[in-house]
């Protein structure tokens, strides 16, 4: 009974020797809960909030036998390690060398981005942050758009992910993809932002509609647009300058022979097209990746030029087996003049004064 009274008194005065209290008295440098790994192990956590404690008390779940054995082995290993450290402290002290770590500024006008992250195992939450500095060590805003940027981190796993990429099913795949695309966009090929924008939109937006019309900023809608798409097929315009057969040797780098005949790649671009929402979810990531791969390939970059992302979209559609109904009257291309007819629904004006009509 006296032990109960002492415990209750200690509890009321928050004097139970939790890890949080042990840190205060330098008995340990770790204030996490040894059971659920939550931070911090304070009195309320130890007797009320600990998830594993509650499972044991209320649900009679004490964990697996293997967990108990591993826990005991961990304690034994800790005791042995502590005794070895204690017995060899004199030898260790004599052989220790101090290594001072400091921040090294980047060269010239370059900027350096130092990043780090943390992981909370009990909640499975992750976070990351960064500091951007110039050669004088001054913090600067990220939107300065520097010509040269050095990114520095001490996490080898992150470096490997960024360099090699991860499987699309990896939980960090969207974040790694963001980073890799930011690096790839250093070449200034702004059109690549188009597939990237759709990847971001599909990831963030709550799209209620079943069908999507993909158009460009220079498209002018003058009448309601009919849904020309059909189940399993998109609706697209066949461009005369998109010639998969002519560039088969180049396209086979991105659509190998085993994927199917070159005729599977429709002579289309990414605009204007109409298709089901679920098909765009499949196509968009491949469209972006193929665009980047084509841009990095000197032969493809030279062959396709400003229509590179159009070829990439056609290839991505073929990769996922999404066919298209080709409407030759979907768009009428008229050069060097402004043509407007009463039955037109869609006018497209581009930088070379080309006018297109989007019709029934």
- What does 115-161 look like in DSSP terms, one character per residue? EEEEEETTTTEEEEEEEEE-TT--B--GGG--S-EEEE-S-HHHHHH
Residue 348 reports pLDDT greater than 80: no
Same domain membership, residue 350 and residue 207: yes
pLDDT at residue number 69: 65
pLDDT digits (tens, 9 = 90+) for 85-125: 555 545 445 555 666 667 787 877 777 888 888 777 666 67
> Does 189 fall in a domain?
no
Boundaries of domain holding 144: 102-154
pLDDT at residue number 121: 65
> Does 125 fall in a domain?
yes
pLDDT at residue number 357: 37
d(CA 119, CA 10): 33
Same domain membership, residue 109 and residue 11: no
> Does 159 fall in a domain?
no
Q: How far is CA 295 from CA 69, 285, 298, in A?
A: 55, 15, 7
Same domain membership, residue 234 and residue 120: no
Same domain membership, residue 334 and residue 258: yes
Same domain membership, residue 229 and residue 136: no
| Cross-sheet strand order for the sheet of 111-120 | 125-133, 111-120, 149-152
Same domain membership, residue 292 and residue 257: yes
Average pLDDT over residues 254-280: 92
Please, are residues 310 and 269 in contact by the beta-carbon 8 Å criterion?
yes
Residue 266 reports pLDDT greater than 90: yes
pLDDT digits (tens, 9 = 90+) for 157-175: 888 888 888 877 777 777 7
Residue 319 reports pLDDT greater than 90: yes
> Does 262 fall in a domain?
yes
> Which pair of structure tokens corresponds to residue 265?
């790649």
- When divided into structural domains, the chain yields a total of 3
Residue 49 reports pLDDT greater than 90: no
Average pLDDT over residues 38-44: 77
Same domain membership, residue 137 and residue 47: no
Decide which of 234 and 92 is more confident: 234
Same domain membership, residue 64 and residue 211: no
Average pLDDT over residues 252-279: 93
Last residue of some domain: 94, 114, 137? Answer: 94
| pLDDT tier for residue 153 given thresholds of 50, 70 and 90 | confident
Question: Among residues of the chain, what percentage have pLDDT more than 90?
Answer: 18
Same domain membership, residue 270 and residue 129: no
Q: Is 235 helix (H, G, I), strand (E, B) or coil?
A: strand
Same domain membership, residue 252 and residue 146: no
pLDDT at residue number 101: 67
Same domain membership, residue 337 and residue 274: yes
| pLDDT tier for residue 328 given thresholds of 50, 70 and 90 | confident
Same domain membership, residue 109 and residue 78: no
pLDDT digits (tens, 9 = 90+) for 176-224: 777 776 666 555 555 567 888 888 888 888 889 999 988 877 677 667 7
- In terms of DSSP bridges, do strands 211-214 and 332-335 run parallel, antiparallel, or are they unpaired? unpaired
pLDDT at residue number 358: 37
Decide which of 262 and 89 is more confident: 262
Mean confidence (pLDDT) of the chain: 76
Specify the range with the lowest mean pLDDT, choosing from 172-176, 294-298, 313-317.
Answer: 172-176
> Does 336 fall in a domain?
yes
């Amino acid at each position: 009974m006296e032990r109960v009274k002492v415990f209750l008194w200690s509890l009321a005065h928050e004097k139970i020797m939790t890890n949080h209290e042990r840190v205060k008295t330098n008995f340990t440098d770790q204030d996490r809960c040894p059971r659920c790994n939550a931070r911090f192990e304070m009195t309320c956590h130890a007797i009320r909030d600990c998830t594993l404690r509650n499972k044991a008390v209320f649900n009679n779940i004490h964990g697996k036998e293997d967990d108990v054995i591993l826990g005991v082995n961990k304690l034994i290993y800790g005791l042995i390690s502590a005794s070895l450290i204690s017995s060899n402290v004199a030898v260790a002290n004599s052989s220790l060398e101090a290594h001072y770590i400091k921040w090294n500024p980047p060269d010239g006008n370059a900027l350096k981005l130092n990043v780090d992250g943390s992981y909370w195992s009990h909640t499975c939450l992750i976070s990351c942050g960064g500091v951007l500095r110039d050669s004088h060590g001054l913090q600067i805003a990220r939107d300065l758009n520097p010509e040269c940027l050095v990114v520095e981190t001490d996490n080898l796993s992150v470096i490997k992910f960024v360099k090699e990429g991860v499987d699309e099913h990896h939980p960090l795949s969207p974040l790694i993809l963001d980073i890799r695309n930011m690096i790839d966009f250093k070449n200034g090929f702004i059109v690549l932002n188009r597939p990237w924008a759709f990847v971001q939109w599909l990831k963030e937006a709550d799209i209620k509609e079943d069908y999507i019309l993909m158009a460009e900023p220079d498209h002018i809608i003058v009448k309601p647009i009919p849904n020309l798409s059909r189940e399993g097929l998109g609706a697209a315009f066949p461009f005369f300058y998109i010639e998969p057969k002519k560039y088969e040797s180049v396209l086979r780098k991105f659509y190998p022979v085993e994927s199917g005949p070159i005729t599977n790649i429709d002579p289309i671009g990414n605009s204007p097209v109409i298709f089901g929402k679920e098909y765009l979810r499949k196509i968009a990531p491949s469209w972006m990746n193929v665009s980047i791969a084509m841009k990095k390939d000197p032969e493809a970059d030279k062959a396709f030029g400003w229509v590179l992302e159009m070829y990439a979209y056609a290839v991505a559609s073929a990769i996922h087996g999404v066919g298209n109904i080709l409407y030759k009257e979907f768009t009428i291309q008229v050069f060097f003049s402004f043509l407007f007819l009463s039955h037109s629904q869609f006018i497209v004006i581009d930088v070379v004064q080309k006018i297109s009509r989007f019709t029934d």
